[in-house]
Structure 1
Amino acid sequence: MNFFERQARARRSSSRLIVLFALAVLAIVVAVDLMVLLVIGPRPGALLASTVVALAVIGIGSLFRIASLRGGGEPVAQQLGGVPVAEDTRDPQLRRLRNVVEEMSIASGVPVPKIYVLEQEAGINAFAAGYSTSDAVVAVTRGALDRLNRDELQGVVAHEFSHILNGDMRLNVRLIGVLFGILMIGIIGRKILLHGRGFRNSATIMVVVGAIAAMSVGSLGMFFGRMIKAGVSRSREVLADASAVQFTRQTAGIAGALKKIGGLDGGSRLAHREDAEEVSHMLFGDGAGLRGLFATHPPLLQRIQALEPGFRPEHLSRLQAQWLANPPDGLQEDIALGLVAPGEALPQVDRALAVTPPMVAAQVAHPHDDDYQRAHAVVAAISEPLHDIATHREAAMPLILGLLLDDDATVRRRQQVEIAARLGAAAADHAAQLRETQLQDLHPMLRMPLAALAFPVLRRRPRPQLESFLDTVHAVVHADDQVSLFEYCLGRLLEVQLREALDPARYIRFGRRKPGNVKQEFATLLAVVAQAGNPGDRAAAQHAYLAGMQRVLPRDHLPYAPPAGGVQALDAVWEPLDALDPLAKQVMVEAITAAVSHDGRISVAESELLRTICGVLHCPLPPTLEQLPH
C-alpha cells in the first residue's frame, strides 16, 4: 500500500468515523428518551424536548472541543503538560531528540514538526498530533528520553512519522473533538453531582437524581467512545510499527522500545489519566490502561513478536528482573553502541539519477533506510555554524532571504532594497553577509533541508511579522521580473507551510477531484516543468510535456503551449491540483516524473524541482530519488 492508497484509506476512515459517531449519538438520544419515558410517561412534547436537548448538548460539546483544537497539534501537547524543545538547545538528551526528528523530517520530505517533551511523564510514550505536516507536533515523554537509546528513540519517532505521513494524526485529532460531544451528558451529570453535595432540600435531591441519570447515559457515551477509538486505532498501530521498521530498516530500535515498556515499572502509562483517556488512541503505547474490547493497542507481547518472532514471555521476565536492579540509561547505551557513520556523501551537482515514475510515486511519504542514511548525511553536511543560524530566532529570516539572493550584483542590490524597505537595513545586510560567507558555495541539495530546519523558528513569529516576511520573500523573488523555478518553488513552499501553520484547521480536508476536472491545470504545470527542464530546446520540452500528459490524460489532446508568464503561471494551478483525490495525486506525481525524466534520467536540480512541487501539493518526497545499493 503506497502513500496515495493510504490517503484514500484515511479518507474512508473519516467517513466511517462519521457513521459510527452518528450511531453513537442515536443510541444516546434513545437512552435519554427512555429515561424521560420512564420518569414522566409517554408525552410527545417532553420526548421531543429531550431529543433536541440531547442533540444540542452533543453538538455543542463537539463543536467546542473541535474549536479548541483549531491550533493543530500544539493544544494537545500543551494539554498534556508538554514543554517545547528549543531549536538551539544544548541539553544532550533534547539535542539527540531534535537531531532524530530533523533527520526523519528531511528523510521523509516534510517540514520539521514542533517538538515537545512531556516532562512530568516517567513512562515511555510518544504521539504525533496536528491537521497537516505544516502544523504537526511530535511529543515524547521524559521517560522515553531517559530510558531509550538513539536507535530505540529513532524507532519510536519513525512510528509517529508514519502517523503524520499516512494521515492518521488528522483523523486522531478529529476523533478527540467529535468524541467529546458524546461524553458531554456524562460530564454535565458528574459536575452537577459534585456541586450538589451537602444540600438536603427536595429540589436538590431531584437534581442529584437527574445527575445520576445523566451519568448513566454518559457511561453509554464512554462505551461507544472507547469502542470507536479502539476500532480506529488498533490496526493503525500495527501498520505504524511495520512502517517504522520499513523506514529505519531494522527491528531492534522499535522492538527495544517496546521491551522497555514491558520491562519497566512505569511502562507506557501517563500520570494524567483523564487526559490519557482522551488521547489514548494517538499514543505510541497504552497510556490509559485500557484492556479487552476497549484496548487501543494490540497486546505488547504481540507487537514485539511481530518484530521478533522468537521473543517469549520468559525473555520479558528476565529483562524485568535485570532492569529492576539496574534501570537502563539511554545516553549511556548510546556511548556503548558507538556513533553511526553518516552514510553516503551527497551526489555531485551535475550527476544524473536513473528513476521511473512508479518508483518516485512509491517513495512519496514512504521513506526507507536509504533515505534516513541520506538525511543523516545531509544534516552532517550542513556545517554547525550554518545549522545554528537556521535555528536562531533572529537569523532564520535573513538566512532564507540569503538563499534567494541573485548571483547578478545589480539584481542583488535591488533585492536588498526590497528587504530593507520591509524588514529594515539590518536584515538586508545580514542576508547579504550570509550569502557571501555561508551560502554562496552551498550544495543545491542542502538548500531545501536548510529551509526546513529554519521552519520551526519562523512559524513561532507573530502573524504580522510572518505576513511581512512572506511579502518580502515575494518581493525578492520578483525583483528582476525573471523568476527562476527554484525561487518560485521555495517562495511558494514557504507560503503554503507558514500559512497552514497559522491556520491549520483550514487545511484538513482530503481532495475529491478527478484528473478530468483539472485538464488545463495539468497542461499548465507540465508545460512549465518541461520548459524549465529543457530551456531553449522546444522539441525536447514538447517531448517531455507529452510524456507527462500521456501518463495523466492519455485520451485528451492538449497541445504543448508554454504559458507566457512562465513559472508564475503556476499560481493558478496549486489549489485545483491540491484538491485532487489521493489516488489521482499518485497519477499526477507519475506524470510530473515522466516529464522531468523523459530521457530516462533527471539531474539533481530537476530532482529538487520535483521535490518542491510535490511538497507544495502535499506529496512529500525523500531527500533524493534513487536507492542506495544494498
Structure 2
Amino acid sequence: MDFFERQRTARGTSVKLVVLFVLAVLASVAVIDVIAVLAMQGRGNVVGVLVVVSACTLLVIAGGMIGKTFSLRKGGAAVAASVGAVPVDPTTTDPALRRFVNVVEEMSIASGVPMPRLFVLPLEEGINAFAAGFTPADAAITVTGGALSRLTRDELQGVIGHEFSHVLNGDMRLGIRLIGLLHGIMLLGLIGSRILALSGRGSDRKGIPPVVAIALAATVVGFVGQFFAGLIKAAVSRQREWLADASAVQFTRQPAGLAGALKKIAGMPAGSRLADERSAKEVSHLLFGEGRRFSRLFSTHPPIHERIVALDPTFREADLETLRERWHDELPHGMAGDATSGLAPGVRAPVAVTPAQVSGRAATIGPDDLDHGAALNAQIPPHIHQLAMQPSTAAAVVLAMFVSGEPGLRATQLVAVQERLGNATARSVDALAAELAALPRHLRLPVVSLASPQLTGRPDHEQQALLAALDDLALADGAVSLFEYCLTRTVRTTVQDAADPASRSRPGSTTVRRATDEIVTVLAALATAGNPDPVAARQAFSGAFAHLRTGAPVPDMPAGGSWRRLDACWPALDGLARLEKRLLVEAMVAAVLDDGKLTTQEAELLRAACALVHVPLPALVA
C-alpha cells in the first residue's frame, strides 16, 4: 500500500470514527433523557424537559469537543505544549539534544518534508515519543528524557523513524481529532460528577431530585462513553503502530535499532510509562509505547513482546524476564553505546526513475535515502546550517538565495527587503548573498527545510512580510525562473500550512477531468523548463498528457504562463482526491522525463512542484 492508498484508507477510517462517535453521542442523549423522564415522576411538561435536557447534553458534548479541538488548532506545537513538553533549541550544544536534532534533520531532508518542531519531556524517565500535527509543516516530535538518555543513536533513529511514519502517512490529523472527540464525551462525565458532589446532599426521602438524577446519568453516560471511545481509539492505534514499526525499519534498514528500543522499554522499570497520568491518558494513542497501564482490551499498542518478535524472530516472551533482571539495578546509558560515526560515507549515485516509481516513493524513505539525507545535511556549510536553525537569521538565509550578483539589481532587491523586514534583515541578506549564491542548487531545498520551523514560528505579520519580500526578490528582474517560482511557493505553502493547519489538511475530492485546465498549465510549464527547444517541449507535454488521460485528445500546449497563472492552478490541484493526485504526480514526472534523463535541477524542480500539492518526495538524484 503506497502513500495515496494509505491516505485514502485513513480518510475512510476517519469517517467510520465520526459515525461511531455520533452513535455514542445519540445513545448518551437517549439514556439521559430516559432517566430525566423517570425522575420527573409525572411532574411538569415532560416534552419541554426532554428538549432542554437533550439540548444541554448536546451542547456540553459539542462544547467540549469544539473547545478542545480549537485549543489544538495550531497543530503539533499546541499538543506538545498541552502535555508540558519543552521546546528544543535547534542550535543546542547539549550532546543528547544535538543527537536528537541531527537524527530528525537527516530524516527530514531525506523525506522532503519541512523540519518538524522538536520538544522534550525532560522529567519523564520512561522511553517514549510522539508526533502530532495536522500537516508536516506544523508537525512536532516530542521525546522523553528517558529516550534521550537511555537509547543509542541507532535506537533513537528507529523511534524517530516510527514517528516520521505518522508524519508522512497522515496519521497525525486523525490523532488530534480523536483527542477532541474523546474530550467532548469525557466532559459530560466530569460535569455530572461535579454536580453530584455539589448537590448530592439535596436528596430527600420522597425520591431523587431531577437535577441529581440527571447528574448521575451524565456521570454514568460519560464513563460509558469513555469506555467505548477507548475501545475505538485502542483498535485504531494498534493497527497504526504495526504500520509505523514496519515503516521505521524500511526507513533505517536497521530492525535491531527499533528492536533495541523496544527491549529497553520491556526491561527498564519505568518502561514507556509517563509519570503525568493526565498527559498519558490524553495522548496515549499518539505515543510510541504505552504511556500508562491498560488492560489488553484498552491497550493502544500491540503487546511489547509481539512488536519485538516482529523485528527479532529469535526473541521469546520468556526473555522479557531476562531483560528486567539486566536493567533492574543499573540502567543503560545510550550515549555510551553509540557508534563512532552515524553519517553515510557519501552521496549515492543518480538513480533511474519512471513515473510509477516516483509516485510509489511519495512519502517514503527508500533504502539509500536516509544515508543520502545525512550526507546532504553534512554538505551544508556549517555557518549556513547554524544561521538557518536560528529564528533571528533563518529568514535572511532564505531571502539571500534570491539576491542577484548584478550590482544595480542587487541594490533594488535589498531596498525591497529593507522596506518589508527592516534594516537588520537587509544587512544580513546582503552579507549572506555571496555565500548563498555559491550554495549548490541541490542543497537549497534542504536548507529551506531546516529553516522552516524558524520561519513558521515567527509572528504572523513577519511571515506575511517574508512572503511579500520573496515575491519582490524573484520579480525584481522581471523574469521568474520556474525553479525560483517553485522555491518561493514551497516556502509560502509551508508558512500557510503552519498558520492554519486544520483547514489546510482537509483531503480533496476533485477529479483529474475537472482540473484538466490547471493540469495542462502546469505540465506545459514543466515541459518548457526541461526543454528549451519548442519541439522537444511540445513532445514532452504531449507525452505527459497522454500518461494522464490515456486516449483523450491532446490539447494545444499553452504558451508559457505567468506566475500569477500558475498560482491560480495549485488550489485545484491540491484539491484532487488522493488516487487522482497520483495521476498528477506521474504526469509531472513524465513531463520532465521525456528525454529519459532526470538531472539534479529537474529532480529538485519536481520535488518542489510536488510539495505544492502536499506530496513529499525524497531526493531522486545526487
TM-score, length-normalised on structure 1? 0.94
Output the CA distance in 1 between the equivalents of 2:199 and 2:611: 55
1:418 equivalenced with 2:416 (yes/no): yes
The question of whether the paired residues in 2 share the 8 Å contact of 1:128 and 1:136 is answered with yes
1:51 equivalenced with 2:54 (yes/no): yes
Instruction: Mark the runs of 5 or more structure 1 residues left unpaired by the alignment.
Output: none
**Following TM superposition, by how much is the alpha carbon of 1:284 offset from its aligned partner in structure 2, in angstroms?**
0.7
1:257 equivalenced with 2:261 (yes/no): yes
Match among 362, 365, 388 for residue 364 of structure 1? 362
Once the two structures are overlaid, the 10-residue window that deviates more, 575-584 or 202-211, is 202-211
The question of whether the paired residues in 2 share the 8 Å contact of 1:342 and 1:380 is answered with no
Instruction: Mark the runs of 5 or more structure 2 residues left unpaired by the alignment.
Output: none
Residue number in structure 1 paired with 2:466: 469
1:4 equivalenced with 2:8 (yes/no): no
Residue number in structure 2 paired with 1:90: 93
Q: Which amino acid aligns with 1:395?
A: T
**Following TM superposition, by how much is the alpha carbon of 1:417 offset from its aligned partner in structure 2, in angstroms?**
2.1
Once the two structures are overlaid, the 10-residue window that deviates more, 396-405 or 602-611, is 396-405
Q: Compared with structure 1, are the counterparts of its residues 69 and 344 closer, same or farther at alpha carbon in structure 2 (3 Å cutoff)?
A: same
**Following TM superposition, by how much is the alpha carbon of 1:465 offset from its aligned partner in structure 2, in angstroms?**
1.2
Residue number in structure 2 paired with 1:228: 232
Q: Which amino acid aligns with 2:501?
A: P
Q: Cα deviation per residue 1:263-308 (whole Å; 9 max; x = unaligned)?
A: 0011111112122112111111111222222111111111111111
The question of whether the paired residues in 1 share the 8 Å contact of 2:351 and 2:620 is answered with no
Once the two structures are overlaid, the 10-residue window that deviates more, 415-424 or 396-405, is 415-424
The question of whether the paired residues in 2 share the 8 Å contact of 1:230 and 1:295 is answered with yes
Output the CA distance in 2 between the equivalents of 1:176 and 1:201: 36
Once superposed, what is the RMSD of the aligned Cα atoms?
2.0
Q: Which amino acid aligns with 2:174?
A: L
Output the CA distance in 2 between the equivalents of 1:504 and 1:490: 20
Match among 549, 570, 573 for residue 574 of structure 1? 570
Question: What fraction of aligned residue pairs are identical, expressed as a percent?
Answer: 45
Q: Cα deviation per residue 1:31-81 (whole Å; 9 max; x = unaligned)?
A: 212322332357443333322222222112111111111111112111111
Residue number in structure 1 paired with 2:344: 342
1:116 equivalenced with 2:119 (yes/no): yes
Once the two structures are overlaid, the 10-residue window that deviates more, 495-504 or 204-213, is 204-213
The question of whether the paired residues in 1 share the 8 Å contact of 2:384 and 2:397 is answered with no
Output the CA distance in 2 between the equivalents of 1:353 and 1:563: 32
Output the CA distance in 2 between the equivalents of 1:613 and 1:343: 30
**Following TM superposition, by how much is the alpha carbon of 1:404 offset from its aligned partner in structure 2, in angstroms?**
1.1
Residue number in structure 2 paired with 1:287: 291
TM-score, length-normalised on structure 2? 0.95
**Following TM superposition, by how much is the alpha carbon of 1:468 offset from its aligned partner in structure 2, in angstroms?**
1.1
Q: Which amino acid aligns with 1:575?
A: P
Q: Cα deviation per residue 1:530-570 (whole Å; 9 max; x = unaligned)?
A: 011112x1110011111111111223324343334344421
The question of whether the paired residues in 2 share the 8 Å contact of 1:85 and 1:117 is answered with yes
1:355 equivalenced with 2:353 (yes/no): yes
Residue number in structure 1 paired with 2:14: 14
Output the CA distance in 1 between the equivalents of 2:348 and 2:304: 40
Once the two structures are overlaid, the 10-residue window that deviates more, 279-288 or 411-420, is 411-420
**Following TM superposition, by how much is the alpha carbon of 1:213 offset from its aligned partner in structure 2, in angstroms?**
3.1
The question of whether the paired residues in 2 share the 8 Å contact of 1:527 and 1:560 is answered with no
Output the CA distance in 1 between the equivalents of 2:156 and 2:453: 21
Residue number in structure 1 paired with 2:517: 520
Match among 468, 471, 476 for residue 479 of structure 1? 476
Q: Which amino acid aligns with 2:134?
A: Y
Residue number in structure 2 paired with 1:402: 400
Q: Cα deviation per residue 1:72-125 (whole Å; 9 max; x = unaligned)?
A: 111211111100001211111111111111111111110001100012211111
The question of whether the paired residues in 1 share the 8 Å contact of 2:39 and 2:213 is answered with no
The question of whether the paired residues in 2 share the 8 Å contact of 1:280 and 1:287 is answered with yes
Note the 1:15-30 alignment, pairs <5 A.
Answer: 15-30=15-30
The question of whether the paired residues in 2 share the 8 Å contact of 1:61 and 1:184 is answered with yes
Residue number in structure 2 paired with 1:384: 382
Q: Which amino acid aligns with 1:297?
A: H
Output the CA distance in 1 between the equivalents of 2:101 and 2:568: 37
Output the CA distance in 2 between the equivalents of 1:131 and 1:412: 38
Residue number in structure 2 paired with 1:273: 277
Q: Cα deviation per residue 1:462-514 (whole Å; 9 max; x = unaligned)?
A: 11111111111111111111001121111111111112212222212101111
Output the CA distance in 2 between the equivalents of 1:426 and 1:39: 70
Output the CA distance in 1 between the equivalents of 2:621 and 2:360: 10
Output the CA distance in 2 between the equivalents of 1:357 and 1:565: 24
1:506 equivalenced with 2:503 (yes/no): yes
**Following TM superposition, by how much is the alpha carbon of 1:581 offset from its aligned partner in structure 2, in angstroms?**
0.4
Q: Cα deviation per residue 1:505-531 (whole Å; 9 max; x = unaligned)?
A: 221210111101100011000000001
The question of whether the paired residues in 1 share the 8 Å contact of 2:35 and 2:213 is answered with no
Output the CA distance in 1 between the equivalents of 2:556 and 2:522: 11
Output the CA distance in 1 between the equivalents of 2:182 and 2:203: 35
Residue number in structure 1 paired with 2:449: 452
Residue number in structure 2 paired with 1:584: 580
1:300 equivalenced with 2:304 (yes/no): yes
The question of whether the paired residues in 2 share the 8 Å contact of 1:545 and 1:560 is answered with no
The question of whether the paired residues in 2 share the 8 Å contact of 1:483 and 1:568 is answered with no
Residue number in structure 2 paired with 1:158: 161
Q: Which amino acid aligns with 1:384?
A: P
The question of whether the paired residues in 2 share the 8 Å contact of 1:360 and 1:625 is answered with no
**Following TM superposition, by how much is the alpha carbon of 1:208 offset from its aligned partner in structure 2, in angstroms?**
5.2
Residue number in structure 1 paired with 2:66: 63
Q: Cα deviation per residue 1:161-204 (whole Å; 9 max; x = unaligned)?
A: 1111111101110111122112221010223344558x678699
Q: Cα deviation per residue 1:239-275 (whole Å; 9 max; x = unaligned)?
A: 0100111111110111111111110011111112122
Output the CA distance in 2 between the equivalents of 1:6 and 1:396: 34
Q: Compared with structure 1, are the counterparts of its residues 353 and 267 closer, same or farther at alpha carbon in structure 2 (3 Å cutoff)?
A: closer
Q: Compared with structure 1, are the counterparts of its residues 150 and 205 closer, same or farther at alpha carbon in structure 2 (3 Å cutoff)?
A: farther
Residue number in structure 2 paired with 1:40: 40
1:331 equivalenced with 2:335 (yes/no): yes
Output the CA distance in 2 between the equivalents of 1:293 and 1:27: 22
The question of whether the paired residues in 2 share the 8 Å contact of 1:488 and 1:568 is answered with no
Partner secondary structure for residue 369 of structure 1: coil
Residue number in structure 2 paired with 1:169: 172
Q: Which amino acid aligns with 1:295?
A: S
